[in-house]
Structure 1
Amino acid sequence: MLNQKVADLRQDYRKASLNESDVAPTPLLQFDKWWQDAVSGQIDEPNAMTLATSTPDGRPSARIVLLKSFDAEGFLFFTNYQSRKGLELAANPNVSLLFFWKELERQVRIEGTVSKAPEPVSDEYFRSRPAGSRIGAIASPQSQVIPDRHYLENKVKQLEEKFGKEVPARPSHWGGYIVKPSLVEFWQGRSSRLHDRVQYSWLADAWKIERLAP
């Protein structure tokens, strides 16, 4: 079953290295350093990240969402609370995030638990969104089956007529989540697949830094 055309796709990584003696004392500081590199490197959507969730019985699902902020509290993103991911987060708060910055030959993998962002945070961000995005968040029953594209476009048109130039309030089914990390791994591609992997693990009151085999 091996597809040789796929199997032969290879790229050697040589741009940088990562040593545990050189990283920041906390994963947030190290992430911020790499984040600045990603932004200054003009990577297309450096805030795009894979969010992996699962049901209580362990059935996983993953999709791309956009990071909107990060600080000592965790990593913030926004979505529909009634979507598939929202329902899975309500039932099982354990999540994983993955950033892949191909141009820098880097990955950041984050494991942790999620909680809803405070309502004022969600309200503030919702008001900052473009008008079309605000209407879209109200109109879309995210992850639910709909009859066709026209159904969605018709709902959007009705809401645009209803609100006009008025800024609608954030719907209760939409808002932010904060991922609080318990494990963060920084991956730097290296030649011959001998990649550098440095892992931070939270141990009660401090971060433990270790190197992992590639």
Structure 2
Amino acid sequence: MNNPEQSVGGVRGWLRGLEVFSGPLPEFLPEEAPDDPVRLFLVWLSDAVADGLPDPHAMTLSTVDEAGDPDARVLILKDVDASGWRFAGHAFSPKGHQLSVHPRAALTFYWPGHGRQVRLRGPVTPGSARDNAEDFLARSATARAEALLGRQSQYLADPAERDQALEKSLGLIGRDPSLVDSAWTLYTLAPVVAEFWQASADRVHTRLRYERTPAGWARFPLWS
């Protein structure tokens, strides 16, 4: 592989030469979209799954910290229904701390093979103790053991220390498979805005914005 820095035009020229939206893209007619963004989202998600797009349920969660600086990471969607989009995490993790201070967030889904993007913004609420426990126990033993350590994103001085702690945590789970981390949280983002974006090879993209109103959802086509 050529070094991008040594290519003609450097990194900028190399990036501009990369193909995007080169394959056949699905059609999106906003006037035929359902009144509810949940229904349209599930159609697009189902299309991505049916066509074998990788990690179709992966999404970017964006939050802000105490200073108002943005932060983002990729998570897996846990569920979606009329009440909102759900994801999970440890309350003592950076995102958990950030959501406790600023309980609002944004979610972004992107399916490159279809040239489709969905953006959501709204308040975030934690789940009940029962819902949190059910989500925690549905995780693999290793994932549960790691969560029980409660040290996500802390500095790691020695991988051997992590491995020993994880082995000990796995032992706890082996002795008590029903063990639940009380800090594990299932969050729900209830969007006040949902935007659906369909790419076009000619760059005249199609965008549809849903806005929550007291009477329900209102739809607005947007300039590309």
Partner of residue 6, structure 1: 15
Equivalences for residues 56-75 of structure 1 within 5 A: 56-75=66-85
Corresponding residue number in structure 2 for 1:22: 32
Amino acid at match of 1:67: L
After superposition, give the CA deviation of every residue in 1:43-91 in whole Å (9 maximum; x if it has no partner): 2211100000012542101000110100111111111111111111111
Q: How far apart are residue 21 of structure 1 and its match? A: 0.8
Q: TM-score, normalised by structure 1?
A: 0.93
**1:17, 1:189 within 8 Å by CA — same for their partners in 2?**
no
Mean Cα deviation higher: 199-208 or 81-90 = 199-208
Asked whether 1:82 is paired with 2:92, we answer yes
Question: Of residues 58, 61, 75 in structure 2, which corresponds to 1:51?
Answer: 61
Residues in 2 aligned to 1:176 and 1:206: alpha-carbon distance in whole angstroms: 25
Q: Which residue of 2 aligns with 1:102?
A: 112
Structure 2 CA distance for aligned equivalents of residues 157 and 57 of structure 1: 36
Higher relative contact order (CA 8 A, sep 6+): 1
Q: Is the 8 A contact 1:93 1:114 kept in 2?
A: yes
Deviation readout 1:141-177 (Å, 9 max, x if unpaired):
1122232222211111112233435314221221210
Q: Deviations over 1:117-150 (max 9, x none)?
A: 1111111121122211111111241122232222
- Specify every segment of 5 or more residues in structure 1 that has no aligned partner in the other structure, as ranges: none
Secondary structure in 1 matching 2:134: helix
Paired residue for 1:197?
207
* Cα distance in 2 for residues equivalent to 1:163 and 1:20: 49
Matched with 1:169 is: 179
When normalised by structure 2's length, the TM-score is 0.89
